Amino acid sequence: MRIVIVGGVAGGMSAATRLRRLMEHTEIVVLERSGHVSFANCGLPYHVGGVIEERSALLLQTPQSLGARFGLDVRVGQEVAGIDRAARTVRVRDLATGREEDLGYDALILSPGAGPVRPPVPGIERALVLRDVEDTDEVVAAVAGARSAVVVGGGFIGVEVAENLVHRGLQVALVEATEQIMAPLDPEMVEPVHARLREHGLDLRLGSAVTEVGERTVTLADGTELPADVVMAAVGVRPDSTLARAAGLEVGPRGGIVVDEHLRTSDPDIYAVGDAVEKKDALDGSATLVALANTANLQGRLVADVIAGLDVADRPVLGTSVVGVFGLTLASTGWSEKRLRAAGRPYRAIHTHPANHAGYYPGAEGMALKLLVDPETDAILGAQGVGGAGVDKRIDVIATAITGGLRAADLAELELAYSPLYGSAKDPVNMLGYIDRNHRDGLVETLQWHELQERLDAGATLLDVRTPGEHESMPIPGGINIELDRLRDRIDELPEGELVVHCQAGLRGYLAARVLEQHGRHAVNLDGGYLTWAARPPRAVAVAGSAADGTGAAGDDADRGSSAG
């Protein structure tokens, strides 16, 4: 029996090594188009930046090491030009010699990954991409003599590449067609990243389309010419389904190969895994593209289990992701608010601004968290975080809670490891649960930052319950100020009608709203307080009101797919 695997990174190599552990005596051939297998794809931007100094650190395995350890027949520089499904053969082209030959298979696994998309503008062929080790070598060489760079696209790869080009000392512009980078997240969560990028000298161009790539420049739609010794295309990735299409295998609405829960394509002898296949969304079951390395690795292992006869099945995906940039962490799981709005799904949003650990212990770092909850069932629909240390931990805990079917209210009761070095006695995740319970039990009504203006226009009074000092130095225009600790005494001073209360982060506003409600006044709390409001995007109306931003599947823009990490 011979199993042939097309693609020797992440999913493909996970499948190959797992197959060997389960089937010692089966012939396993891995065909890889590039010159390397099992390389650290997610490390490529960091080698460009010199953060990962040694190129060799990216090369986790070689065909030789995989042969010695796993008895795998790994062939690099080999492109599969076609599949003869009737004959059960693949046509293999040696890229060095151009010679082709047929190779028979009993089972075929496709793991071709996803390829970078190039925007269709004149001159774009000069733009470099970052998909494999050869690309990286090319970028490193180009950067060596360069002084300026333009990165086109503000997704994970674009942001990581831009940061690393800054590390290299280049003058870097990042051009993003929409009003925010990191499309899977909501704008008020991404705004701190915009600020951080600019603080580090990056020329961030939002809402800007590239119209032409010149010899040493990039031209934007508004006529701006950006200096660009190097141009990087990072507008996203697309499933590499060319081979599957040519073989007549079913390809889905989002352009990925269609597989069943056993990762079988429409041909029962052909399987597919990783970035190239369509997954099922964990929230609504729709077809989605999630180009993430952990998903690819999991699928690689599962397909081996299926072929070996173990009882396993693939699962829907949440699309948890994280990026670190200039010391800031940005992470998310599940759906964003804009995506929920675009889909017309009801939700409640909760914003908080906790510290990663007890404030009285030195070195506490701040973060912003956002939780999205189904108001009917209290199911957790998504979460996002941005800030310093501990953001990734909170998103991981919430992703696990979603997978475990916990309700948002259950987050209050999670027993998380607490000492003042690591968290708070009421951990930020617990606090989200506490706040959700207040919503569930009807104890508080909140307003989102993008709903404020409309409410004020309708005649509501904005009441700032912070101290006078805070009110003066960080105002939301149009508000009056009575600090919380004096509110009970001064309640008669308040004008009639609806009150929108706010504070710095949301807690005092909630306390004030409780006081007011129990004194017979209707009060709505501005969710996340001044801090969330202050992180609103500059062009708030356009972003908050646009359904178009929300139509992309979560993680569409991600590309951690072919890492062997």
For a second copy, the closer of residues 216 and 315 by Cβ is: 315
For a second copy, the closer of residues 422 and 542 by Cβ is: 422
For a second copy, the closer of residues 9 and 447 by Cβ is: 9
Cβ at position 443, least distance to a second copy in Å = 7
Contact between 481 and 466 under an 8 Å Cβ cutoff? The reply is yes
CA–centroid distance for 87 within its chain: 41
Q: Which residue has the tokens 């004959």?
A: 87
For a second copy, the closer of residues 2 and 118 by Cβ is: 2
Q: Which residue has the tokens 């240390």?
A: 389
Does residue 544 touch a second copy according to CB under 8 A? no
Helix runs in 391-536, H state only: 391-403, 428-440, 452-457, 468-473, 487-490, 507-518, 529-534
Binding mask 15-54 toward a second copy (x if CB under 8 A, else -) reads: ------xx-xx--------------x-xx--x----xx--
Cβ at position 125, least distance to a second copy in Å = 30
Alpha-carbon span 77 to 80, nearest angstrom: 10
Q: Which residue has the tokens 């030789």?
A: 64
Does residue 68 touch a second copy according to CB under 8 A? yes
For a second copy, the closer of residues 285 and 362 by Cβ is: 362
Stretch that binds a second copy, among 136-144, 427-435, 456-464, 531-539 (CB under 8 A): 427-435
Among 245, 519, 522, 539, binds a second copy (CB under 8 A): 519
Stretch that binds a second copy, among 75-83, 163-171, 316-324, 536-544 (CB under 8 A): 316-324
Does residue 404 touch a second copy according to CB under 8 A? yes
Determine phi and psi for 462, rounding to 5 degrees: -90, 120
Helix runs in 222-310, H state only: 242-246, 293-307
Cβ at position 153, least distance to a second copy in Å = 17
Among 71, 104, 268, 497, binds a second copy (CB under 8 A): 71
Stretch that binds a second copy, among 226-234, 395-403, 448-456, 498-506 (CB under 8 A): 395-403
Among 294, 453, 467, 546, binds a second copy (CB under 8 A): 294
Residue 214 corresponds to which tokens in the numbers above? 């010149």
Alpha-carbon span 534 to 170, nearest angstrom: 31
Contact between 182 and 154 under an 8 Å Cβ cutoff? The reply is yes
Does residue 399 touch a second copy according to CB under 8 A? yes
Contact between 263 and 107 under an 8 Å Cβ cutoff? The reply is no
Does residue 361 touch a second copy according to CB under 8 A? yes
Q: Which residue has the tokens 């200096």?
A: 227
Cβ at position 464, least distance to a second copy in Å = 16
Residue 521 corresponds to which tokens in the numbers above? 């006044």
Cβ at position 513, least distance to a second copy in Å = 10
Give the binding-site size for a second copy (rule: CB under 8 A): 90
Contact between 501 and 516 under an 8 Å Cβ cutoff? The reply is yes
Q: Return the C-alpha torsion angle 325, 330, 335, 341, nearest 10.
A: -90
Instruction: Write the burial class of residue 125 (CB in 10 Å: 0-12 exposed, 13-18 middle, 19+ buried).
Output: exposed
What residues from 130 to 159 belong to the interface with a second copy (CB under 8 A)? 156
Cβ at position 181, least distance to a second copy in Å = 15
What residues from 433 to 472 belong to the interface with a second copy (CB under 8 A)? 434, 441, 443
Residue 297 corresponds to which tokens in the numbers above? 């690795």
Alpha-carbon span 429 to 432, nearest angstrom: 5
Stretch that binds a second copy, among 112-120, 236-244, 471-479, 481-489 (CB under 8 A): 481-489
Cβ at position 9, least distance to a second copy in Å = 10
